[in-house]
Amino acid sequence: MSRGVVVGVDIGGTKVLAGVVDEAGVVSSTALRTTPGRRGVTRQAEDALVEAVLEAAGGQPLAGVGVAAAGFVDPAGDRVMFAPHLPWQGEPLRELLQDRLGCPVLLDNDANCAARAEGHHGAARGARSALMITMGTGIGGAVLLDGRVLRGANGMAGEFGHMQVVPGGQPCECGKTGCWEQYSSGNALVRNARALMAEQPSVLAESSGGRPERVTGPMVTSAAEEGDLVARQAFASVGDWLGIGTANLVAALDPEVVVVGGGVSAAGDKLLDPARAALRRTLVGAAHRRVPDLVAATLGPRAGMIGAALLISGQERW
């Protein structure tokens, strides 16, 4: 690897975060830009990314840039095939960025990068196999198996959120029904809380100004911290479904540890305790195996950026 700094970049639908990351996963300087969204021009997204990288590097030479993109990246890591919140469709982003930045560039899906970071420096450190479940508005994920990230034939492995758990259930943005993320995600949490508010008193009535449509995920989390019963029930349901879906994944993949990241995981044990109970209840052979630990991610919103840098720094244990 040539001399210079390694920059990791995490690009999502609203912002791009770039940072200089050292071999221990420590981030020394960061830069933030907004992204143009799905209707923007592809060049604008590329410009935002390049500007963030150059600002983070602060004039130091670039040894390489790793990019975590919120979308489907082809198995070779050359192109973003499709991104629900970005304008790219089959864009040869790796080559375009290498030309503009004058250094090696590697791409991967953002959930894969976050999982790689947790595997090296975070909650799954030391494990040979792990599942990462990212709970934001929906569910994303990644599989770390026998020392590497499982990519799949299309680079699409780990899309756990769209496993069908309730035939004919809640409609999903993906066009199907009964997807797991309709029952266990930030959106599901808010939907549960709104429904329960109609039946029981809750501090959420006050924090939303009496308008259930104004309830947000963070409002439900802080209400649960105050002991609000509606908020706690909303978390109990989302946690129960988290455990049920996780049991299916554990039955298939038998990981050592399951790491839960994303915004909803900030609720900690309010989410994870009901999930652990449901995992034990529903996992095949639970009495005769070591049921994997279900733990909160430790690297927070920087995980994608740190994992992107790991693409370059060559520590490919995952």
- Residue ranges binding Zn ion (CB under 5 A): 162, 172, 174, 176, 179
Nearer to Zn ion, 10 or 181 (CB): 181
In whole angstroms, give the CA distance from residue 217 to residue 68.
25
Nearer to Zn ion, 179 or 215 (CB): 179
What minimum distance in Å lies between the beta carbon of 154 and Zn ion? 17
What minimum distance in Å lies between the beta carbon of 48 and Zn ion? 28
CB 212 within 8 A of CB 198: yes
What minimum distance in Å lies between the beta carbon of 172 and Zn ion? 3
Pairing of strands 257-261, 130-135: parallel
CB 216 within 8 A of CB 223: no
Name the phi and psi angles at 86, rounded to 5. Answer: -135, 155
Nearer to Zn ion, 179 or 236 (CB): 179
HSE on the CB side for 174, CA within 13 Å? 17
What minimum distance in Å lies between the beta carbon of 168 and Zn ion? 13
Tokens of 24: 């221990």
Contacts of residue 8, defined as CB under 8 A and 6 or more positions apart, other chains included, come to 18, 19, 21, 27, 65, 66, 68, 113, 304, 305, 306, 307, 308, 309, 310, 312
Nearer to Zn ion, 166 or 284 (CB): 166
What minimum distance in Å lies between the beta carbon of 287 and Zn ion? 33
Nearer to Zn ion, 168 or 285 (CB): 168
